[in-house]
């Protein structure tokens, strides 16, 4: 049973460019959340998707947007990249109403903005 | 506004001894607390959780204690093993929504 799959694993982009990160949730999960983890920090919540809609959003600018597809997979898009966007981006999935049992995280996408 | 705090960035413990990792929180509305373990180049892995209406939850070598009056929780690992060396994150959940993480504690088990 595959867990959460994220692609790509590493990415280098230039300041001002746009990037798309992808996530396939664990089988049976219908809710996808995205987190940003800067070096030396804990993961910070970006947003959560359920039934193809953004359910909740953290304190991130509109440059960060997302999408969830009918098969529950999700994309995170970041426009007008800044150097400060360099971080590990984590996708987590869960089944609605069961997140207290622990989200399942992917291994993340390491984004470097130069 | 750091609602979940892990004040010890690192901890070293002898193999076989008890490891105690601490976490403090400020938001009394949190209804679940979770501990995650993270190895380099991997995503966080769920370890154990506790409801805010409980004061203790145990799973094998891992026990989490919650002191609501002090807004404090701790993770006990007994006995500590070399494979326990990792970064441990405390996280809190409100209403089955977003996880709020602490900054993590790097645990090193000394053989």
The yes-or-no verdict on residue B1 having pLDDT over 70 is: no
Cβ–Cβ below 8 Å for A43 and B46: no
In degrees and rounded to multiples of 5, residue A8 shows phi and psi of: -75, 175
| Strands annotated E in B54-104 | 56-59, 62-67, 72-77, 86-93, 99-101
Cβ–Cβ below 8 Å for A100 and B104: no
Question: In this predicted structure, what is the pLDDT of residue B41?
Answer: 83
Q: How near does any CA of chain A get to the CA of B28, in Å? A: 16
Mean pLDDT within B51-72: 97
Whether the CA torsion A110, B2, B5, B11 is positive or negative: it is positive
The yes-or-no verdict on residue B10 having pLDDT over 80 is: yes
Cβ–Cβ below 8 Å for A101 and B104: no
Confidence grade of residue B14 (pLDDT, cut at 50, 70, 90): very high
B66 Cβ under 8 Å from any chain A Cβ:
no
CA distance A86 to B39: 20
Q: Which residues of chain A have pLDDT under 70?
A: 1
Contacts of B69 (CB under 8 A, 6+ apart): none
- In chain B, the percentage of residues whose pLDDT exceeds 90 is 88
Three-point CA angle A28, A30, A33, nearest 5°: 125
**What's the mean pLDDT when you consider all of chain A?**
94
Three-point CA angle A89, A94, A100, nearest 5°: 105
Q: How near does any CA of chain B get to the CA of A99, in Å? A: 6
Cβ–Cβ below 8 Å for B101 and A42: yes
Cβ–Cβ below 8 Å for B98 and A33: yes
Residues of chain A neighbouring B44 (CB-CB closer than 8 A):
43, 90, 105
CA distance B111 to B109: 6
Smallest CA–CA distance from A34 into chain B, residue = B98
Question: In this predicted structure, what is the pLDDT of residue B32?
Answer: 92
Question: In this predicted structure, what is the pLDDT of residue A11?
Answer: 96
Taking phi first (over 0 means left), then psi (-120 to 50 degrees means alpha), and beta for anything else, what does residue A108 get? Answer: left
Mean pLDDT within B75-88: 97
Mean pLDDT within B60-80: 97
Mean pLDDT within B83-91: 97
Question: In this predicted structure, what is the pLDDT of residue B96?
Answer: 62
Question: In this predicted structure, what is the pLDDT of residue A96?
Answer: 80
**What's the mean pLDDT when you consider all of chain B?**
94
């Amino acid at each position: 049973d595959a867990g959460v799959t994220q692609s790509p694993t590493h990415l280098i982009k230039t300041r001002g460019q746009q990037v798309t990160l992808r996530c396939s949730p664990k089988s049976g999960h219908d809710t996808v959340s995205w987190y940003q983890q800067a070096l030396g920090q804990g993961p910070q919540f970006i947003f959560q998707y359920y039934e193809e809609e953004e359910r909740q959003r953290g304190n991130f600018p509109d440059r960060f947007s997302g999408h969830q597809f009918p098969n529950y997979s999700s994309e995170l898009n970041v426009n007008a990249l800044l150097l400060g966007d360099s971080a590990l981006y984590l996708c987590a999935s869960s089944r609605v109403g069961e997140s207290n049992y622990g989200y399942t995280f992917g291994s993340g996408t390491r984004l470097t903005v130069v | 506004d750091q609602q979940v705090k892990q004040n010890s960035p690192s901890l070293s413990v002898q193999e076989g001894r008890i490891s105690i990792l601490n976490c403090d929180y400020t938001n009394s509305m949190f209804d679940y607390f979770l501990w995650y373990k993270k190895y380099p180049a991997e995503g966080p892995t769920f370890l154990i959780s506790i409801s805010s209406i409980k004061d203790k939850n145990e799973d094998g070598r891992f026990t989490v204690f919650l002191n609501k009056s002090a807004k404090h929780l701790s993770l006990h690992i007994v006995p500590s093993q070399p494979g326990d060396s990792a970064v441990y994150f405390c996280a809190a959940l409100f209403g089955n929504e977003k996880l709020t993480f602490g900054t993590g504690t790097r645990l090193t088990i000394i053989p």
